[in-house]
Chain A
Amino acid sequence: MVVAAHPLAAKAGLKMLKQGGNAVDAAIATAFALNATEPFASGIGGGGFMVIYLSQEKKVTVINFREKAPSQAFPEMFSEKGEIKKEWRVAHGLAVAVPGALAGWNYALKKYGTKNLANVMQRGIEIAEEGFKITPTFSAINKDEYEKLIKNAGEETTYLNKGFPYEPGEIFRNPDLARTFRKLATKGVDEFYRGEIARKIVEAIKIKGGIMTLKDLASYSPVEQIPLKGTYKDYTLYTLPPPGSGGLHIIQLLNIIQNWPIQKWGHNSPAYIHHFCEALCFVFADKARYLGDPDFIQIPVARLISKKYAAQIASKIKPDRLSGFYPPGEFEDNQLDQGNTTHLCVVDKKGNIVSLTQSINYFFGSGIVPAETGFLLNNHMADFSLDPHSLNAPRPNHRPVSSMAPLVVLREGKPVLTLGSPGGTRIFPSLTQIIVNIVDFGMSIDEAIETPRFFSYSFQGKAKSISIESRLAEKTIKFLEKMGHKVTIREAFDKYFGGAQGIMIPRGKKLFLGGADSRRDGYGVGY
């Protein structure tokens, strides 16, 4: 089974499975197809993380292909004469971090796959050449990012239809991307990191004021890591270690929630939402204080995910009002933060699992497209902190902290769930809600994903408003306001809260249950 954020991409993965590929082959095939079908959310111009469960070895591993800051990056790089230039982090050459996706996919394929790069990218090539109908999701995002695309990609770009956003139903083709993929199929990933594509990347970034060098690209490599492990009731979660912060914070949140009678309170009841949001405020304070690139700093991971620490946080939370003070952190009040990124899950017939989250950061990334290559460059430098003293400030070759959290869940040693989501800082709060929906409230995977979500965080010690989907009951909102919360109501199915994809593996059954998110164009296929 394959679940991904576009039907064509999910089907590309399924085709690979049917052709005898394993879960890793299928995941990479899906990833290439997502670059063609959902180019605004991921692709070879970005990076990500992959959690792989190998059923024969009963082993879980993580491939970290997160982007890196260029070697000339420095903590004050987004300031000029003391003034922070927000635009430089988002839609400028300085916003681009060294892409890791292709290196990561290639690494995973060589070590754990059975097919070669040319095989797995074939369907991606076909989709880019043949084109497909633009969905309302694609069109809306295209419109949202129009200004950035006009400025950085130009009116003639493939990513606009004769200079205007695509409308639903129009055909989107990307022949430049197809040509790029064909080049990679014959010349290998070195063409991207050391060859002509590398030169085009550096040139495009330089024109837009960036500092990436050919050496930065040539020296990029992904990293295989030991997964982070946590428990929730009789479930074991495997997810990303730092610089992925999402998995760590899911474990933290679940540890805190375990202290409360949430089933008694009820799903999405005022008491549940209040306690959950208060917990989020403490967790975000920890995120700001402790998280960075573990290649360069020490992170107290064991302390952060300990049940004891969680119990201490739970005891600080008042049942009927805001705590009022949360340990101060450096998490920016980033009003530009969006629900971006993409996630896919694959389970093959032997029970191997891949949970992959990847991104070019903001939708349409930096808006910069290297000449005639067809792919968008990321703006993941925006995931570094603006505070030059922060552990997560931009520094040479550092990976920025990520909220991504692909995960695999086991029960009694057997995999029962794989899950992940895009959504920026809403990733781990949303995934925690989905896990609780399944484990505590008995929902199916699809129900757990579709049910209304909420989000909150703290900034400099103060709680921010709770964002909720408008489907939550009016009286719930009033109760929360009575407790002292400010509530922001968003769309009924708002992609601000992510676009989760998941596969459930019920015990004792030869059956996979897929769940895809209506907030994006999520789709599941199996056989």
Chain B
Amino acid sequence: MKKIFLIASLFLLIFNLQGFSQGAKEYVFEEPLLISSAGQSAEVQIASVLAKRAGLSYTLEKIATIKDLENVKTLVLVLGTSMKGLGAAGLDMAKEKGRVKNLLKEAEKKNIPLLCLHLGGETRRGKLTDEMIRDFLPSAKAAIVVKSGNKDGIFSQICEENNIPLIEVEKTVQALKSFKKAFKHKIENHKSN
């Protein structure tokens, strides 16, 4: 009995069943963050508020380029396309994809891990947003999404195929807890030392 209990506990520890895709290990990111957009949707601003409330050290740069990766430990990409946002930034889909591709390439060179967010839910999915999801999510070390945005399973499928831990939350405000948890805080490090 004791043996079964121990095995079960180990099983639960390794595979945290609460919101993680099966088999994917939790990834812990470090500060400081660079928050940028893939698609220029308004949700990139929400990510900065989440970071602020989580007490994280971050820079928000909606149209980040490789120079913005200087002294950054984590790249956070908020996935979501907005025609209005692209227009305001003087970009189109091709230019935006090119910018993000270059950013990811440089991040990979510098060993800066990627955390992807999709915070808009079901109403913020569409053909153009899905292109961003398919192009850039596979490079992520983890993803946090509002559950209704994953109704068709697009995030689950891509995360499973690429062994990416996927955290689903019911509402945007609930992403705060997961966001905090995803980062190794200095104060926690200090305590463990």
Contact = CB atoms under 8 A, between A and B. Distances in A.
Interface stretch (A64-72, A138-146, A261-269): A138-146
A487 to B, nearest CB: 14
Interface string B42-59: 110110010001000000
17 contacts: A136-B123, A140-B123, A143-B42, A143-B123, A144-B42, A144-B84, A146-B42, A147-B45, A162-B173, A163-B49, A163-B53, A164-B171, A164-B172, A165-B172, A167-B172, A335-B88, A338-B84
Interface string B148-170: 00000000000000000000000
Interface in A101-149: 136, 139-140, 143-147
Nearest to B49: A163
B88 A147 contact: no
B42 A145 contact: yes
Nearest to A167: B171
A467 to B, nearest CB: 9
Contacts of B124: 140, 143
A335 B83 CA distance: 10
B124 to A, nearest CB: 7
A155 interface: yes
Nearest to A488: B83
A225 interface: no
A143 B41 CA distance: 9
A336 B84 contact: yes
A139 B123 contact: yes
A150 B44 CA distance: 13
Contacts of A145: 42
A168 interface: yes
A161 B43 CA distance: 15
Interface of A: 136, 139-140, 143-147, 150, 155, 161-165, 167-168, 335-336, 338, 490-491
Interface of B is mostly: helix
Instruction: Say which size band chain B's interface belongs to.
Output: 20 to 34
B113 interface: no
Contact of B173 (A139, A144, A164): A164
Contacts, number: 49
Interface string B17-54: 00000000000000000000000011101100100010
Contacts of A155: 49
Contacts of A147: 42, 45
Nearest to B171: A167
A113 B173 CA distance: 46
Interface of B: 41-43, 45-46, 49, 53, 82-84, 87-88, 90, 120-121, 123-124, 126, 171-173
Nearest to A496: B83
B127 to A, nearest CB: 8
Most chain-A Cβ atoms within 10 A of its Cβ — which of B84, B88, B171?
B84
Nearest to B126: A491
Nearest to A489: B127
B99 to A, nearest CB: 18
Given A155-B49, A164-B173, A167-B121, A336 B88 contact: yes
Contacts of A164: 46, 49, 171-173
Contacts of A167: 121, 171-172
A213 B97 CA distance: 46
A491 B81 CA distance: 12
Nearest to A168: B123
Nearest to A135: B123
Given A168-B123, A336-B87, 12 more contacts: A140-B123, A143-B42, A143-B124, A144-B82, A144-B84, A162-B173, A164-B171, A164-B173, A165-B46, A165-B172, A168-B121, A338-B84
A487 B43 CA distance: 27
A143 B121 CA distance: 11
A84 B173 CA distance: 37
Most chain-B Cβ atoms within 10 A of its Cβ — which of A146, A164, A168, A338?
A164
Contacts of A139: 123
B121 to A, nearest CB: 7
Nearest to A143: B42
Contact of A146 (B45, B84, B90, B121): B45
A455 to B, nearest CB: 13
B87 A335 contact: yes
A490 B87 CA distance: 13
A162 B87 CA distance: 29
Contacts of A143: 41-43, 46, 120, 123-124
Given A167-B171, A335-B88, A150 B45 contact: yes
Contacts of A491: 126
A167 B87 CA distance: 25
A143 B42 CA distance: 6
A368 to B, nearest CB: 18
A144 B124 CA distance: 10
A136 B49 CA distance: 22
Contacts of B171: 164, 167
A167 B123 CA distance: 9
A490 B82 contact: no
A43 B82 CA distance: 26
A58 B157 CA distance: 65
A490 B172 contact: no
A411 to B, nearest CB: 39
Contacts of A150: 45, 49
Closest 6 CB pairs of A and B: A335-B87, A147-B45, A146-B42, A136-B123, A164-B173, A164-B172
Nearest to A338: B84
B49 A490 contact: no
B46 A146 contact: yes
A490 B83 contact: yes
